[in-house]
Amino acid sequence: MNVFTAYIVKDVLKGSLIAMLLLLTLFNLFTLSDELDDIGIGNYGLAEVFYFLALTSPTVFYELMPASALLGSLFTLGAMANHHELIAMRAAGLSIFGIIKAVMAAGIILVATAVLVGEFIAPLTEEKAQLIRATAQNKPVVMRTKYGLWLREGKQFINVRKMEDNGNLADISIYEIDKNDSDGSRHLQHSLHADQAIFLGQQQWRLQQVQRSDISTEQMQAGAATEQLWNSSIAPDLLKIVVVSPDNLSLYDLAMYIDFLKENHQKSHRYEAAFWGRIVNPLVIFVMLLVSTPFVVGVKRGISVGARILVGIVIGMGFNIIDISAGHIGLIYDLSPPLMAFIPSIAMSAVALYALKRVR
């Protein structure tokens, strides 16, 4: 790495870091404003709000990385252009391709950071944040695993293996524990399995083909029933919502859950779209860096910081709109998830390469 490349890489990284800190602060302020409205619900207080913000910050960091790379490169390269540094570098023999190469080298570091945070840190902290929030507000807690949905409601732990399109449940197990003993331990008191659960409304379900076991330290009794009523505040709509959005799960978790859905002959298109979206997202950083270059090299010097911010916002928002629209179109018309995930990035890259060709 020569002196010019190292200089550009260092400044692009520094500009991206400053942009990230500003965007992260702005987004956290918006989140804080929303969360303050929920203070007082259950045990949800100011301490829980700040804990929630701290735990959701890695997810926001990952999502903002492409925008930060775009704004950071616009600021950095724009400042170099205004201070005649790019002209001096080109006079010393650095080509436009050399500038792009240096910017892409910074992109490698940004992509590696984004993958590290997005795959190994953000999913864990996001899940913990949502669990803390739901628990503090005394809401039922829902977790999705390879073995179906796990929910907790009071002393009951519920496992749902299959949800039908009409809202009914199939292959459902309910485990009930007792209160804490003097030593803090808990014991399983009742276990129940039903082939199907039908929602009757008013927080009531009808369980069909029920097998029940009552457990104590002295004996265990088993019984069966054709039908049994089950009172629960868990409604079918809640079961369709999990603690962590598919967009915030790691690639491994998404891949495992997609396999689980396919094995059980359930729809997986939404999760496949999220899976390919996570693959593409780090590559978007390269696209944003590539897009920023012609707007600096090909535009006359003296452009203000405000103008560059406006350019960055327009490009970022335009790409985001196209990306979201492509995702929704793919879900509506059941189009190939990999194709719909890559189309916006390919289109934006083509525009950037055309602009660079015009500059040269």
Q: Rounded CA gap, 102 and 199, in Å?
A: 60
Q: Is pLDDT at 144 greater than 70 in this prediction?
A: no
Burial 108-120 (b: 16+ CB within 10 A, else e): eebbebbbebbbe
pLDDT category of residue 135 using cuts at 50, 70 and 90: confident
Residue 7: the pLDDT is 93
Q: Which H/E stretch holds residue 173?
A: strand 169-177
What are the pLDDT digits (tens) for 32-75?
A: 999 999 999 888 999 999 999 999 999 999 999 999 999 999 88
Residue 14: the pLDDT is 95
Q: Is pLDDT at 242 greater than 60 in this prediction?
A: no
Residue 259: the pLDDT is 83
Q: Rounded CA gap, 23 and 275, in Å?
A: 25
Q: How many helices and strands in the chain, by DSSP H and E?
A: 10, 7
Residue 37: the pLDDT is 92
Residue 285: the pLDDT is 95
Neighbouring-strand partners of residue 174: 158, 192
Distance of CA 288 to the CA centre of its chain: 19
Q: Is pLDDT at 3 greater than 60 in this prediction?
A: yes
What are the pLDDT digits (tens) for 243-263?
A: 557 777 788 888 887 887 787
Q: Is pLDDT at 212 greater than 90 in this prediction?
A: yes
Of 40 and 87, the structure prediction assigns the larger pLDDT to: 40
Q: Lowest-confidence range among 37-41, 143-147, 267-271? A: 143-147
Residue 31: the pLDDT is 95
pLDDT category of residue 121 using cuts at 50, 70 and 90: very high
Residue 161: the pLDDT is 85
Neighbouring-strand partners of residue 208: 196, 227
- pTM, two decimals, is 0.78
Q: Lowest-confidence range among 90-104, 186-200, 246-260? A: 246-260
- For residues 133-156, give the mean pLDDT: 76
Q: Lowest-confidence range among 72-81, 159-168, 269-278, 343-352? A: 159-168
- For residues 23-29, give the mean pLDDT: 96
Closest CA to 314 of 71, 64, 80: 71
Instruction: Please say whether the dihedral angle defined by the alpha carbons of residues 142, 143, 144 and 147, taken in this order, is positive or negative.
Output: negative
What are the pLDDT digits (tens) for 320-336?
A: 889 989 988 998 898 99
Contact 305, 78 (CB under 8 A): yes
Q: Rounded CA gap, 250 and 93, in Å?
A: 44
